[in-house]
Amino acid sequence: MKRLGVNIDHVATIRNARGEFHPDPIFAAQFVKKSGADSVTIHLREDRRHIKDIDAKKICSLKGLLVNLEVSTNPSMIKNALQIRPNFICIVPEKRKEITTEGGLDLKKNIFKLKKIITKIRKKKIRTSLFINPSISNIKISKSLKADCIEIHTGNFANLVKTKKDYSKEFKKIKDCSILAHNLGIEVHVGHGLDFKATKILMKIKQIQEFNIGHFIIGESIFYGITKVIRNFKKIIRS
Ligand code: PXP
């Protein structure tokens, strides 16, 4: 079954703007599930700009909720993630000054570090996901690293769709990577910058198992309500 993962980081961003308790990301996690989300994604950033440790702990302890926790390769973040025990740990690159995750991991440069991290995660029986740019060599390295899943960074593709530019090359890259990963037994996730249109186009790639979407869902919810937005995505994301 294909899954819609809803990234609720921005609920915490809004809460933090007031430094108080509302809106509550834990309530948001429960609410998006009730509205039809198949999983929830949260990014515990090193600077804790949105989701905090206590949010991640509480969200991961909710019964029957599939949680994808994004963290950087920083040893203290990996240690935290292993203690928090989500269903998936998605390793992402992180720069302090970036507004959002700007690209995929540099697998070649970090191969030894990632190998150690993945071994630790596997020992805890948590599924590992690597956030990567769509390239065939990244898929091959992910396989050699024994990653359970990859999440393909769809930012470039989504921007081309939004600006009505030719996205065919970028689409082909994502498709070729998805097919290879799937054939190698790696679960394929996609995420970043996705809206209704970009998601609809990516649905042509049968090998994609999970769509992780945040900014557009939260933004669109201001006008139409989160339940309606999630339902509309679920009409697009069908098995
Ligand atoms: N997947 C990953 C790994 C991300 O870092 C993000 C952004 O936090 C998303 C998905 C969601 O991207 P967006 O908010 O642009 O939908």
Q: What is the pTM of this model?
A: 0.96
Distance in angstroms (rounded) separating the CA atoms of residues 200 and 213: 13
Residue 81 has pLDDT above 90, yes or no: yes
pLDDT digits (tens, 9 = 90+) for 211-224: 999 999 999 999 99
Residue with tokens 């909710």: 62
Catalytic residues: 43, 70, 192
Ligand 1 centroid, distance to 227 Cα (angstroms): 19
Closest CA to 151 of 125, 177, 171: 177
- Per residue in 102-132, is it b (16+ CB within 10 Å) or e — as a string? ebbbebeebeeebeebbebbeeeebbbbbbb
Structure tokens at 97: 């000054």
Any ligand 1 atom below 6 A from CB of 213: yes
Structure tokens at 18: 């007031």
pLDDT digits (tens, 9 = 90+) for 114-124: 999 999 999 99
pLDDT digits (tens, 9 = 90+) for 86-106: 999 999 998 777 777 778 999
Any ligand 1 atom below 6 A from CB of 94: no
Averaged pLDDT, 48-57 = 96
